[in-house]
A and B are shown apart, each in its own frame.
Chain A
Amino acid sequence: MASSCWGLPEFLCSAPEMSGSAMRAMRRTIDTGFKDWVRGVSPWIDAAMAPLQRFLNALESAFVSTPWIVVFAVLLVLTWFAGRSWKITLGAGIALIAIGWFGLWGDTMVTLSMVTVCTLVAIVIGLPIGILASRSERAQRVIMPLLDVMQTLPSFVYLIPVVVIFGIGKVPGMIAVVIYAMPPMIRLTNLGIRLVDREAVEAADAFGSSERQKLWNVQLPLSLPTLMTGVNQTIMMALSMVVVASMVGVGGLGRNVLQAINNQFFTVGFLNGFALVAIAITFDRATQAYGKRLQRHTEVSDE
């Protein structure tokens, strides 16, 4: 091999790195520290996680054991009220019928319950953080790099410690999905509030609104379309993460996808993949239409 290194001296040839033994000592120290810490906190964590685990189990069984026609009707009604569009509602109906027809109803319900919980958690946590970031430059400077890390860190990097701490199942799966799905909610909340027309805020000031009134009655309503895009993105991210969540023992469509990947079952993979896509598109169109409707209420338009 050509190891001439452009005629540079030896010490410029390869990037400086710490010695192998020092590296191993470092890894071992960090790992042992982590293990000892887990040993210390595990009873406390178990106690804290038990109610969450029970709630997730209950919700999943509610989705799965409710007769399909009831779930079907509820989902269509929700789609209709969100979008107020016959097209979207009809599309959702056809998608759900097809999912049932191909024998994926149960798995889809498991996935839906997971996505529902994760989306709600991401919104409940993400919205206040987004509001905080929009009101304080310093908070924004701290939060934004954190969001970059959450969105780019390979999920298995934190899944391994999460599994060691919480065991396998829905709880670690939920943590992984929420970590990945929350950033768009925070980003778009922050952006939406910052983009509210300055004059509207000044007018509210002129009428003597308190900070709280300004936030609830001016900034949030005016930024609703952006917020809805945040919700929509969070749902999408949550759906795309369910396959990874299945890698730590969450059931549903993701598990079938994993099985198909491992066995090269094209048909199974595509059917389950398309079931996910169908749910995603339904959610997307419904929330987008809802966002548009909100805009129509808040803006005087002559359509």
Chain B
Amino acid sequence: MTKLVYASLLAIAPAAMALPAMAQDNDQCGTVSIAEMNWASAGVAAWVDKIVLEEGYGCNVDLVTGDTMPTFASMNERGQPDIAPEIWANAVKDPLEAALAEGRLIEASKILEDGGVEGWWIPRYVAEAHPEITSVEEALKHPDLFPAPENPARGGVYGCPSGWSCQITTQNLFHALDAEGKGFDLVDTGSAAGLDGSIANAYEREAGWLGYYWAPTAILGRYDMVQLPFEVPVDEAEFLRCTTIPDCPDPKVTSYPVADVYTIVTKNLAETNPVVMGYLGQRTWKNDVVNAILAWQTENQATNEDAAWHFLETFPEIWGGWLSDDVRARVADAI
């Protein structure tokens, strides 16, 4: 038995020591590192990639915990991790464009077929109790319905966590709508946990809540929220000119454009690992699928790994379409 251990260790050792920079054979995958981002949809995507690559292609996948900016910076400067399954282009617009132009990072695929949805939301129970609230502008006429957490005398618009790009867009739209003059404060939620917690807190007491959120997300799978449209359509040029710029002097109201969400890989991986690139090029899913998985995940308080297995069990027709027959069979065997 111990001989077996040594033998297998000897077999593993070269694989573990193989430098990622070494050109690999076309049917060899080797070791890849994937960023497991700290929001649900990206975390599940990382686990789906890990399971498919390990079971179907025989890769050896390390997951690295990450967040948009630090992970992006690490990939851009140090070439590690190899893959970020879900990067919202708006969140790192300029540095991402620069990195893509220089060829340091490569766009492997558009992971969300429909793109990401951003907007301002209210709970369904508020929308049903006040059918006249059909848009953001209408909601801003009722500061009494959406009390600010620290000052109930005024209304509150729950903004984005510090340092996220949506903090800037929410702030500019808040000024453009003159929400302050309408009796609202812009609430800094501090972190994703703070933003999610404020929604949970409102739901527990059936209180009003108005603020920024995005899909696909677990919260929207878990709590029944209504997205309020803005009364003006999307103006992409204006959005780029001003809405995304910090402290823009003359913001105008515009709806959010659909966000592009990509799988980004390092130059090194794109050049040396056709196996993984081939898989990533095929991999894409729709928001309703992701929302369903995330709703199941929060309903069952499951880990990202559990949710990934749940997806593989429940939606074979989706992931089956990404893979060749023999790989599909190997993944199906693993389930």
A163 on the B face (CB < 8 A): yes
Residue of A nearest to B77 (CB): A264
Contact bitstring B179-221, A, C-beta under 8 A = 1, else 0: 0000000011111011001101100110000000000000000
A39 engages B204 (CB within 8 Å): yes
B4 engages A248 (CB within 8 Å): no
A35 on the B face (CB < 8 A): yes
Report the bound CA distance from A6 to B167 in whole Å. Answer: 54
Q: Which one of A93-101, A137-145, A252-260, A273-281 is at the B interface?
A: A252-260
A80 → chain B closest CB, angstroms: 34
B149 on the A face (CB < 8 A): yes
Question: How many A residues touch B, CB cutoff 8 Å?
Answer: 44
Report the bound CA distance from A43 to B206 in whole Å. Answer: 11
Report the bound CA distance from A167 to B198 in whole Å. Answer: 5
Report the bound CA distance from A27 to B303 in whole Å. Answer: 12
A246 engages B162 (CB within 8 Å): yes
A166 on the B face (CB < 8 A): yes
Question: How many B residues touch A, CB cutoff 8 Å?
Answer: 37
B150 engages A170 (CB within 8 Å): yes
B149 engages A260 (CB within 8 Å): no
Residue of A nearest to B152 (CB): A50
A178 on the B face (CB < 8 A): no
The one of B4, B68, B191 in contact with A4, judged by C-beta atoms closer than 8 angstroms, is B4
Find chain B residues with CB under 8 A from A76 CB.
none
A91 on the B face (CB < 8 A): no
A247 engages B191 (CB within 8 Å): yes
- Report the tally of A-B residue pairs with Cβ distances under 8 A: 117
Q: Which one of B5-13, B104-112, B225-233 is at the A interface?
A: B5-13
A255 engages B1 (CB within 8 Å): no
* A163-B197, A255-B190 known; A4-B5 Cβ under 8 A: yes
Find chain B residues with CB under 8 A from A259 CB.
162-163, 167
B201 engages A163 (CB within 8 Å): yes
A165 engages B201 (CB within 8 Å): yes
* A1-B8, A167-B149 known; A35-B194 Cβ under 8 A: no
B205 engages A247 (CB within 8 Å): no
The one of B1, B68, B190, B201 in contact with A247, judged by C-beta atoms closer than 8 angstroms, is B190
B4 engages A2 (CB within 8 Å): yes
Contact bitstring A41-69, B, C-beta under 8 A = 1, else 0: 01100100000010001000000000000
The one of B161, B193, B300 in contact with A28, judged by C-beta atoms closer than 8 angstroms, is B300
Report the bound CA distance from A53 to B147 in whole Å. Answer: 14
* A57-B151, A163-B194 known; A263-B300 Cβ under 8 A: no
Residue of B nearest to A31 (CB): B301
Q: State the main secondary structure of chain A at its contact with B.
A: helix
A7 on the B face (CB < 8 A): yes
A135 → chain B closest CB, angstroms: 39
B317 → chain A closest CB, angstroms: 25
Report the bound CA distance from A205 to B27 in whole Å. Answer: 87
B302 on the A face (CB < 8 A): yes
* A163-B194, A247-B194 known; A168-B189 Cβ under 8 A: yes
B69 engages A264 (CB within 8 Å): yes
B39 on the A face (CB < 8 A): no
A246 engages B190 (CB within 8 Å): yes
A160 on the B face (CB < 8 A): yes
The one of A6, A27, A164, A260 in contact with B204, judged by C-beta atoms closer than 8 angstroms, is A164
A196 → chain B closest CB, angstroms: 43
Please report which residues of chain A, range 236-250, place their CB below 8 angstroms from some CB of chain B when the two chains form the complex.
246-250
A297 on the B face (CB < 8 A): no
B164 on the A face (CB < 8 A): yes
Contact bitstring B253-266, A, C-beta under 8 A = 1, else 0: 00000000000000
B286 → chain A closest CB, angstroms: 26
A169 on the B face (CB < 8 A): yes
Report the bound CA distance from A48 to B100 in whole Å. Answer: 54
* A6-B1, A170-B150 known; A249-B164 Cβ under 8 A: no
The one of A1, A249, A260 in contact with B194, judged by C-beta atoms closer than 8 angstroms, is A249
Residue numbers of B with Cβ under 8 A of A are 1-2, 4-5, 8-9, 12, 67-70, 73, 149-151, 161-164, 167, 187-191, 193-194, 197-198, 200-201, 204-205, 300-302, 306
**Given A6-B2, A159-B193, 13 extra CB contacts under 8 A:** A2-B9, A7-B1, A24-B302, A156-B193, A159-B197, A163-B194, A163-B197, A164-B197, A165-B201, A258-B162, A258-B190, A261-B163, A262-B67
